[in-house]
Chain A
């Protein structure tokens, strides 16, 4: 994920690519977060200036949406579903297990920097509850044991070394 360009230049390119879209704020923020993993402080005045809006307006948009992060996450983001269908299938117990196992609460990152834990309300995997999301992968019927195996793979990837 290393990118040789300085932050400002990267931001400029991402903002420029979406400048002419109607309602460009969210597409810009998504592009920036997809590239950086979060929305850096420097991005806000640059977006504001590109869209001829105030910095406060951009700040207001970023803070409204839970998806946008203002600080770098861990190497992986794990979301635990807290919605009704998952609650009907033991999500509360799973959430307690996950927090104890990782030693973090929601919105925190494990000490080794591997996992940032976030809550989510519904992943649309309600027929396979309880569900979690790890980065862009969804997992269903997640037991405590299955969760431990998933985290073990994140912390010690089987292919590590060979592919790196």
Chain B
């Protein structure tokens, strides 16, 4: 009987040598005459242990990591292929690793477990159960189910998904669209990528449920060009799903049509903004549209369009399969369900932690993340991407919940968390935030296009100590203008990192705090 061995094909695992490890395992097994079945799975999201190799045994899957190609002969010598656990690289049963065991994996239940492109594996692990239920329900009932689940947009804006869908459902049109925003450009975020590479059928199923619910027959999946591996995986998955009848003119024998066209972005961060993305899919410059009209009324090619993020859509299969109440029981307040938090930057154990809302930053940074990678004290974390606030340690105990974060001028966003140790220069980070806005602004509105350029200049003067008080006042006024006067979140939220850093770390800007000013 052959031994089943798992080596991830996730981008991050590959970036650390997983391909070489897979090759070494194949070679070594052949030389030793050991029959193996090598499965290329997604990543479990325990990135400090990647490449993480797993061996299927009678006691479940046993993990070894981080494995390099040169470790492979030694692993075979020690009997790792029989699940031998007395090895330095052995991490025990994968599911028992505390980082993983304490998570609440709903959306990510299959990622890292299955072979991403195997439809049999997907079906064996609960795949398409949600879609089959959606097929049996009326469109209005599916929309109601999603509304009742409390799901809010996971791309960052946190708008209630069911409400958006109802608008599209109630807007009569000959053609409607589902547009999946997979332009995951925020630094510190990688959950979309992990899901698309590790469980692509989950996203396909989610988009199809959305299509059936609002009466859209065509979906567009807009993927950033920085994700070449995800591109290949999605292409193959869409083709296989179509060949098996999960996409096409008769989805899951429902007699109804839905198909997906995969489109590639071209390196513009702004195309993660929903209207800019629609312009880009239409073949134009990714310039933001004024709202209204909402895309739900007049979106892609002027038709009613659901624009949802990857994680929002990938959460639908489990919501439909288990019911709205099951999902809604996770979380707190108006933040229901789970969020895949992404631990990045300077952490000892970076990775993906799917938890119900309500977990604190301190738990994520310390219990899961293990503190800084450098061994120095953690000073701050930026939550929600490059447009999110920098939080000081004093705010690490606030529950991660959309409303509680908004109340302190921060945002949960897409759940990306970038940790910094005490060597960080916050003046530099603030300058970076403004310079990034200047670089990536679409140029349509003045506060963002010109404000960001002036912002960099003013920050440079503050750093140089030129008329500091006057320039600080000027920066404050500029931030107010950008916040209130920008057309979208690019200019409208760049002040978040700037103002939070000034407020919590004034000493980095040469501001004298001794007088209590």
A residues contacting B by CB (< 8 A) are 21-27, 29-30, 51, 57, 60-61, 64-68, 83-89, 120-129, 131, 133, 136-141
Contact of A67 among B190, B267, B287 (CB under 8 A): B267
A127 touches B190 (CB 8 A): yes
Give the shortest distance, in Å, between B389 (CB) and chain A (any CB): 12
A122 touches B266 (CB 8 A): no
B residues contacting A by CB (< 8 A) are 11-12, 14-16, 45, 47-48, 50, 184-190, 192-193, 225-229, 261, 263-269, 280-287, 301, 342-346, 350-352, 373, 382, 386, 416, 418-421, 424, 429, 432, 436, 439-440
What would 30 A/B residue contacts be, using CB atoms closer than 8 Å? A27-B263, A61-B285, A64-B268, A66-B267, A66-B268, A67-B225, A67-B268, A84-B386, A86-B187, A87-B429, A88-B418, A88-B420, A88-B421, A120-B267, A122-B189, A122-B226, A123-B11, A124-B11, A124-B184, A126-B188, A126-B189, A126-B345, A126-B418, A127-B45, A127-B342, A136-B229, A137-B15, A138-B12, A140-B12, A141-B16
A127 touches B343 (CB 8 A): yes
| Chain B hits for A141, CB < 8 A | 15-16
The CA-CA distance from A6 to B465 in the complex, in Å, is 59
Contact of A88 among B15, B189, B287, B419 (CB under 8 A): B419
A26 touches B264 (CB 8 A): yes
A89 touches B15 (CB 8 A): no
| Chain B hits for A51, CB < 8 A | 283
Asked if A26 meets B350 with Cβ closer than 8 Å, knowing A122-B186, A124-B227, A127-B47, the reply is no
Give the shortest distance, in Å, between B90 (CB) and chain A (any CB): 22
The CA-CA distance from A127 to B47 in the complex, in Å, is 6
Contact of A138 among B185, B229, B269, B351 (CB under 8 A): B229
Q: Which residue of B lies closest to A118 (CB)?
A: B267
| Chain A hits for B416, CB < 8 A | 126
A125 touches B12 (CB 8 A): yes
Contact of A24 among B14, B267, B283, B287 (CB under 8 A): B283
Asked if A137 meets B14 with Cβ closer than 8 Å, knowing A29-B266, A87-B429, A127-B343, the reply is yes
| Chain A hits for B186, CB < 8 A | 122
B285 touches A23 (CB 8 A): no
Q: Which residue of A lies closest to B373 (CB)?
A: A89
Asked if A89 meets B227 with Cβ closer than 8 Å, knowing A125-B15, A126-B188, A128-B50, the reply is no
Q: Which residue of A lies closest to B420 (CB)?
A: A88
The CA-CA distance from A85 to B342 in the complex, in Å, is 11
Q: Lowest 10 A-B CB distances belong to which pairs?
A: A83-B187, A25-B283, A65-B266, A126-B344, A140-B15, A88-B345, A67-B267, A67-B266, A127-B47, A127-B350
| Chain B hits for A64, CB < 8 A | 268, 285-287
| Chain B hits for A68, CB < 8 A | 266
The CA-CA distance from A126 to B420 in the complex, in Å, is 13
The CA-CA distance from A27 to B436 in the complex, in Å, is 27
The CA-CA distance from A87 to B420 in the complex, in Å, is 9
The CA-CA distance from A27 to B420 in the complex, in Å, is 39
Q: Which residue of B lies closest to A81 (CB)?
A: B187
| Chain A hits for B192, CB < 8 A | 124
B345 touches A85 (CB 8 A): yes
| Chain B hits for A60, CB < 8 A | 285
Give the shortest distance, in Å, between B295 (CB) and chain A (any CB): 15
A65 touches B286 (CB 8 A): yes
The CA-CA distance from A59 to B441 in the complex, in Å, is 18
| Chain A hits for B265, CB < 8 A | 26, 65, 67
B266 touches A30 (CB 8 A): yes
B16 touches A140 (CB 8 A): yes
| Chain A hits for B351, CB < 8 A | 127
| Chain A hits for B436, CB < 8 A | 121
Q: Which residue of B lies closest to A141 (CB)?
A: B16
The CA-CA distance from A164 to B457 in the complex, in Å, is 52
